Homo-oligomer: A and B are copies of this chain.
Amino acid sequence: MTAPLRLGIAGLGTVGVGVVKIIRQKANLLSLRTGRPVVITAVSARSKDKDRGVNLSDYAWEDDPVALATRDDVDVFVELMGGSDGPAKAATEAAIAAGKDVVTANKAMLAIHGQALAESAETAGKVIRFEAAVAGGIPVVKSLTEGLAGNDITRVMGVMNGTCNYILTRMENAGLPYDEVFAEADALGYLEADPNLDVGGIDAGHKLSLLASIAYGTKVAFDAVELEGIGRITIEDIHQAADMGYRIKLLGVAQMTGRGLEQRMTPCLVPADSPLGQLEGGTNMVVLEGDNVGQIVLRGAGAGEGPTASAVMSDVIEIARGTRLTTFGQPAATLEEARPAQSATPAPYYLRMELTDKPGALAKVAAVLGEAGVSIDRMRQYSHESDNAPVLIVTHKCTRQSLDAALEGLGGTGVVATAPVAIRIETV
């Protein structure tokens, strides 16, 4: 039996408490599976006195996470505080400087400081592992970094924010508008303190940027992620997309194109009968595509105490077993600058608009689209009692530039009553 692996855990929210529980309840199993005891020596959180429903009296307490991270009796600093900067970053840097390995669930910190942290960890011969930062309990970092390492990755897709998927599927199933379901989700405690992290796509964008770095050997480039939240999605769009055989998801897509790395976290239409289209509620799904393996679909809980703690434990166990991996699948010093290419890949688009009910209105729209190089695959005009006629168009594949030109042109026709809604259709 080798020496115990000693953890210092900073952050005792849901996930931190989940990790403590697993380590207390599964000591035998962990020791069997890793060949050594896995123990907690010290913990840190904002409030020492809060009852967290778990016995912490066996562990040293540190008010200061930096002090925790640098303790002599800590081998692995487990960072579960969150926040891209502040104490999480300070303590992570201190841990690396003090020769500790790091396990973190902090997507924001890695999306912004991942390259610098990885470089300093690797220079120090230490590892940073972050399975819990992406898609909760789904072993997606491991699958991509290790399972698919013999592939050139051709596309990474994912629904990686359970709150957004909950809101979108709840809108559809209950027929409720966005604002109402947003309020529900808030009351249920599903939203981050800053809800824009969820509904603005930022949290999911962080995750996508980490996967893109592993997939394409590029430095994490969160700033280059094309971000759009779900706030403008209406119940009409959801219903009418369904009518055309699609569902709307906040979908992340990362792919390497001839023009550079395309990273998008935006609402997309996906076929209703595809695995992504069928995803309900808070569940996450990641689709990994490689030149040899084809398409791998991974599905599971994207958040919550058990699933996220399970992912943290996977990293802890990896370190306990003696596995030493680079942060992003190859040495950080060899990662290339990502050349961002926004919306480089042509796609079909869903367009919804209201036309003034005049003869020739539809012909004008078709002409403008045609001039911009946007051809129509399917079109539906709905019966209406108001002055304006609701019209849905599914285009053939076109570039975002052509689409934008078409949308601009539509404004000048005098027949479009409201600004058209345009949503990309992702082929899955």
Binding site for B on A (CB under 8 A): 18, 22, 26, 29-30, 32-35, 131, 137-139, 142-143, 146-152, 217, 275, 278, 290-301, 304, 306-307, 309-314, 316-318, 321-326, 329-331, 334
Contacts of A142 in B (CB 8 A): 139, 142-143, 146-147
Q: A30-B150, A146-B139, A150-B22 are in contact. Are A306 and B318 (CB under 8 A)?
A: no
In the complex, chain B residues whose CB is within 8 Å of the CB of A321: 323-325
SS class of chain A's interface: helix, strand, loop or mixed?
mixed
Interfacial chain B residues near A137, Cβ < 8 Å:
292-294, 296
* A275→B296 contact, CB < 8 A: no
Cα–Cα, bound, A150→B371 (Å):
58
Contact B152 A32 (CB under 8 A): no
Closest Cβ of chain B to A247, distance in Å, is 14
For the complex with contacts A146-B318, A148-B314, 8 further pairs of A-B residues with Cβ separation under 8 Å are A22-B292, A26-B152, A33-B330, A142-B147, A143-B143, A275-B278, A293-B301, A297-B297
Name which residue of chain B comes closest to A320, CB basis.
B149
The interface residues of chain B lying within 8 Å CB-to-CB of A30 are 150
Residue of B275, B290, B313, B322 near A150 (CB, 8 A) is B313
Q: Which residue of B lies closest to A150 (CB)?
A: B313
Is B301 in contact with A294, judged by CB distance below 8 angstroms? Answer: yes
B32 touching A334 by the CB < 8 A rule?
yes
A55 to chain B, nearest CB (A): 18
